[in-house]
Amino acid sequence: GAGVSQSPSNKVTEKGKDVELRCDPISGHTALYWYRQRLGQGLEFLIYFQGNSAPDKSGLPSDRFSAERTGESVSTLTIQRTQQEDSAVYLCATGGARYEQYFGPGTRLTVT
């Protein structure tokens, strides 16, 4: 596709359940980032993948959060035992040329 795609667009889950969010990058983009956007706030960095290098996980808020990416393909962000404070929009971005990041439309997660 032409841009970054994310699925699902909306996810409602019960507290304590696990969720998996998916990001399909722009073809050829080696860098992939996950950010979280809480209501009325800016974006918080979560995790960064660059090719086959070890990911930068320094932004993950707890060990309930994990992400995977194989090579330069799809990435999944998993949140285990969801809590209400996990409710947010989760945005994926990919980058090819230096410093530019292209964002997907996001997944709106609501934990009830």
Partner 1 sequence: AQSVTQLGSHVSVSEGALVLLRCNYSSSVPPYLFWYVQYPNQGLQLLLKYTTGATLVKGINGFEAEFKKSETSFHLTKPSAHMSDAAEYFCAVSVGETSGSRLTFGEGTQLTVNP
Residue 99 touching partner 1 (CB under 8 A): yes
Count the site residues for partner 1 by CB under 8 A.
26
Footprint of partner 1 on 43-82 (CB under 8 A): 43-45, 48, 50, 56, 59
Query: Taking the complex as a whole, how short is the minimal distance between the CB of residue 31 and partner 1, in angstroms?
Result: 7
Enter the DSSP assignment of 59. Answer: T
Residue whose CB is less far from partner 1, 4 or 19: 4
Considering Cα of 95, then 99, then 102, then 106, what sign does the dihedral take? Answer: positive
Q: Are 96 and 26 in contact (CB under 8 A)?
A: yes
Pinpoint the alpha helices (H) of 22-98.
Answer: none
